[in-house]
Chain A
Amino acid sequence: MTTGTNQTPLPVIERLIRVTRKGPVHVLLGLVGLLWLLPSIGLLVTSFRTRSASSQSGWWTAAWEGGWTLDNYDTILSSSGEGLPPPGFAKALWNTVIITVPSTILPVIVASLAAYGLVWMNFRFRNTIYLGIVAMLVIPLQVTWVPVLKLFNTLDLTGSFNGLILAHTAYGLPFAVFLLVRGFSEVPRSLIEAARIDGASHIQTFRKIVLPLAMPVIISLTIFQFVWVWNDLMNALIFVQDVNKFPLTISIRNLLGQYGNEWHLLAAGAFVSMVVPLIVFLSLQRFYVRGLTAGAVKG
């Protein structure tokens, strides 16, 4: 990966260390990589096999046992008729995008503001509030469904995208605040004080100092919130009640009959669905810049 802001070539020491870091380390890493990758490869192979082939032989035998088919993907991708029941693949994909993008951006924004307030500003009860927010991480979401649904009904938000987006924003907050408070606390106090002395407002301090320095944490949070919402099934089931608004997770799940026989379709569905989050993950990687605090003190 890039070495980020450091313009100087790597010091000799680093290069020396790197040379000695061979052998056992690489073997170990290779083993981990393989272990992690194997189940995913198994799933990939299974997604190209027929149901009967998968139930008679393991995926690693697929090369000679056969049973290859494109039907699973065909079923997932086609929009009508034999394919996904309403709303159809294209609409479901679009629905997922509509739900996921705001549900990622909003909690990050709200949590950033809240975390800044909690860490760098004074207000009463802030320790208690922080403790409370962290405690909310523990609350299983299911116990919140009924009261929230009742509230949505009075606000006429039931079954709308806005309701689900609001719910996701709220549900993502505890972890987001938790993470960002940690990230924002890492900013050296000296920097903040220097800025305040220079007359910067909180907004300016937030934008120019805290945000850039905490960028890696914010990126991590964004990635995970995105993946979480993209793959969310249960909350969508509860809050989205209109068939045409179903996201991909629900419409793929509904390919299963009542008895769940068609899990081979789930395998194909997983790979189709994962393209977007994977792209998000890979493209946001470049915002992970190494050693940000290095050189910051000079600023």
Chain B
Amino acid sequence: MKRENNMKRLMRWLVPLLALSLIAAACGDDDDSDTSAPSEQSDSDSSDSGGSDGDDSSDGESGDSSIGGSIEIMSNWGGPEQVGFEEVLAAFTKATGIEATYVSERDQETVLPTRIAGGSPPDVSIFSRPGQVQQFVDDGVLVSYADLGVDMSLLENHYSQSVLDLGTFNGELYGLLTAVNSKSTFWYKPASFSAQGFEEPSTVDELDAIIEGYVDAGLTPLAIGALDGWTLTDWFENLYVRVAGPENYNKLFVTHEIEWTDPTVVETMEIFADLLTPVDDVVLGGAAGANSTAFIDAFDQVLNDDAEIYYEGGFMGNFARENFPDLVGGEDYTFFPFPEIDPAFGAPVVGGGSFAIAFNNTPQVKAFIEFLASPEANEVWATTSEGARINPNSGVGADLFADPLTGLEAAAILAADVFVFDGSDLAPSAVGGDAMFTGLQMFLENPDDINGVLEFIEAAADAAY
């Protein structure tokens, strides 16, 4: 019968197919010779691997001895950023003979803790949430730089104490800050400003006047990508540090000595409300439109002339270049520094970055950290073909950058008197990655209910710290 034939037919290719694929899978596993990092991470006895693999590498370059071996580095960079970083890794391999494998995990916040808990972390992770790093330290899964034997003078020579402090937890240095960006850049279109007779504002009051000026001219001033709640937190952080100063800033985000219902926070939110209301006129699409627009799409809206000014970090320049190749950075779009509020606190730079943290104590990891801290590495990183990054390393000059806007951003970071880290990344994830987002989205929908929003965030903070 036909159905029996179908069955037979199915069986006939089923069994060999299964066999073939199992064999292929097995062979695929043995195929580790062309991979640089065996997936099973041992602990500190990879000094053995140093001896065996060290031959086919560099030609006795400078730097530490060609110890060979391999290292696995994980971060959440992909696309162009990954291209840039791989160039840095190539320089690393050339200098030390160590094979470096970069594992790109866009969902690093999910995958990394899972791999740690499961027992197979990468050697190094470059991780952007210091609040989470603190939790790793408390859980005892990180190796301190002291334990690695990293040459501290190398770090102290090229990095300011405040930068090293950012990577210090429980009194020990665990993470080197790399790949920083400034989030105190306010984007605008020079043509639009001159059409309205505006000039770059130096105070928030002047900014408010510009916003109102646009509304009076019948234009929509702001596009906000509030679907990505962290954009709202960046607004808040810049405003707060200008209202309350960097010490209070850290008290709010790092230690929770200041609560979210504190008068300084209320004052900040009131200024924020002043800027944004009436929301339907000031923000493109009103609260609902902003809450459903992703942050890059919102910037697109500004460059498409649906809105006029846009607030987010220096990295927006990359997207403008990718998405609007016809426009010229610096001419058609550029940024002014986020304006002041209290002259006593000036204009601190709020920025983000990623910390290189170590899970395994091996000579390769030590060599990598030291390489990462060297001026040579950072010069390479500033001049990669794609995805050039700014590093707070004294060997990097702002003039190295191919893109003038990146150079401008780098200059601002290097010259800043005060550099504070992105608050939502400093706080525990339940607050900085969740409650703040939700609360501020709620605020956008209802800017009058400041107390409701702050109590909401405080409740989460109370449980989290």
Contacts and interface: CB of A to CB of B under 8 A. Distances in A.
Contacts of B35: 242-244
Contact of B120 (A4, A85, A149, A215): A149
B14 A105 contact: yes
Given A52-B324, A159-B39, A258 B10 contact: no
A145 B114 contact: yes
B118 interface: yes
A212 B18 contact: no
A202 interface: no
Contacts of A98: 21, 24-25, 28
Nearest to B7: A212
Interface of A: 4-5, 51-52, 55-56, 85, 95, 97-99, 101-102, 105-106, 145-146, 148-150, 152-153, 156, 158-162, 165, 211-212, 215, 234, 237-238, 241-245, 253-262, 287, 289, 292, 299
B21 A101 contact: yes
Contacts of A245: 28
A60 to B, nearest CB: 18
B102 A101 contact: no
B120 A244 contact: no
Given A52-B325, A105-B18, A259-B315, A149 B296 contact: no
Contacts of A255: 78-79
B105 interface: yes
A61 B35 CA distance: 46
A143 to B, nearest CB: 11
Nearest to A164: B25
A21 to B, nearest CB: 27
Contacts of A253: 78, 106
Interface string B76-90: 111111110010000
B146 interface: no
Given A146-B117, A238-B114, A238-B115, A243 B103 contact: yes
B119 interface: yes
Given A159-B120, A244-B31, A253-B106, A261 B37 contact: no
A146 B110 CA distance: 11
B102 A243 contact: yes
Contacts of A52: 300, 323-325
The B interface is mostly helix, strand or loop, or mixed, namely helix
Contacts of A165: 25
Contacts of A55: 297, 300, 304, 323
Contact of B296 (A99, A152, A261): A261
Nearest to B316: A259
7 contacts: A52-B300, A99-B25, A153-B118, A238-B111, A238-B115, A243-B103, A258-B76
A212 B11 CA distance: 11
Contacts of B79: 254-257, 261-262
A258 B118 contact: no
Contacts of B105: 237
Nearest to B320: A52
Given A254-B82, A292-B3, A102 B25 contact: yes
Q: Which are the 9 A-B pairs with shortest beta-carbon distances?
A: A149-B118, A159-B39, A257-B79, A101-B21, A153-B119, A161-B25, A55-B300, A242-B39, A254-B78
B26 interface: yes
Contact of A150 (B7, B24, B118, B315): B118
Nearest to B304: A56
A215 B7 contact: yes
B209 interface: no
B107 interface: yes
A141 to B, nearest CB: 12
B345 interface: no
A102 B22 contact: yes
Contact of A160 (B4, B39, B77, B118): B39
Contact of A156 (B40, B101, B300): B40
A165 B24 CA distance: 12
Contacts of B52: none
Contacts of B25: 98-99, 102, 161-162, 165
B104 A4 contact: no
Interface in B1-26: 1-4, 6-7, 10, 14, 17-18, 21-22, 24-26
A4 B3 CA distance: 9
A289 B6 contact: yes
Contacts of A261: 79, 296, 318-319, 322-323
